[in-house]
Each structure stands twice: as C-alpha cells, then as structure tokens.
C-alpha cells in the first residue's frame, strides 16, 4: 500500500507520557510520536538508521554522546549502531522513520505479526 490514512496507523501507548502511531512496510517503520512535557526516553541504539523530524514542541535529542536542543523544523539523522534518545521540554510531536528495520522489531512496536512480503 502506498497511502495510509490516520485511522490506519497502529496506536500504542509506549510508556506514561508517550504514544506512538505506527505503520510498517518494505523494511521502513514510520512512527508519529506524541509526548507530554517532561517525557524522558531511554537512550538506546539499534543496527539500522533512524531519522527524527520535529513537527511541533521543544525538547532535546541525543545522537552519540551529544545532546542538542530541538524544536519544530529540526531534522535529526541517526546512523546505525549509534546511541540516541529524545526528551520533551514541552508537549512534542515527532515524525520518526527507521530504515532497513527488521520485521521482528516492527512487530514489537505494532503489537502484531507482519505478513510475509
């Protein structure tokens, strides 16, 4: 499928203060993250690249050992195998894309099995 309407995204509360709206196709996981002010994610890494685009709000992003302030219009590119994370200073909406993401990881995010291609 090439087009997804908002009702077709899988909605999952990730943790208190954060909710994900996700879709997965062709090894690409797309997530819209809604986080409340004060949310602090746990820094982590994985073997595929990730991109964050801040749609609204303000926060901080970690890439490797560096933290930077981010706000609407900020694009953050994260190479594979690099520690990264997000913190929200205000309510924040972030568009996230994970490239070459294995189906097994996406299944955990979506909470369901991925049909074989």
For 46-88, write each residue's pLDDT tens digit: 998 999 999 999 999 999 999 999 999 999 999 999 999 999 9
pLDDT band, very low/low/confident/very high, at 116 (cuts 50, 70, 90): low
Distance of CA 41 to the CA centre of its chain: 11
CB 84 within 8 A of CB 50: yes
The two structure tokens encoding residue 51? 């991109």
Question: Measured between alpha carbons, how far is 111 from 55 in angstroms, rounded to an integer?
Answer: 25
The structure's pTM equals 0.84
The two structure tokens encoding residue 34? 């809604």
Architecture of 30-110 per CATH? Answer: Sandwich (2.60)
Extents of the domains making up the chain: 30-110
pLDDT (0 to 100) of residue 13? 74
pLDDT band, very low/low/confident/very high, at 115 (cuts 50, 70, 90): low
Closest by alpha carbon to 42, among 21, 17, 8, 24?
17
CB 33 within 8 A of CB 57: no
């Amino acid at each position: 499928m090439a087009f997804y309407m908002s009702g077709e995204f899988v909605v999952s509360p990730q943790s208190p203060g954060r909710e994900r709206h996700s879709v997965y196709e062709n090894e690409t996981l797309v997530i819209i993250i809604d986080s409340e002010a004060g949310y602090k994610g746990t820094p982590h890494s994985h073997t595929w690249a990730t991109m964050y685009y801040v749609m609204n709000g303000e926060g901080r992003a970690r890439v490797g050992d560096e933290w930077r302030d981010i706000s609407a219009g900020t694009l953050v590119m994260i190479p594979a195998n690099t520690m990264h994370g997000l913190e929200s200073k205000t309510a924040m909406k972030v568009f996230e894309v994970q490239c070459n993401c294995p189906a097994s990881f996406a299944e955990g995010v979506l909470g369901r099995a991925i049909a074989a291609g």
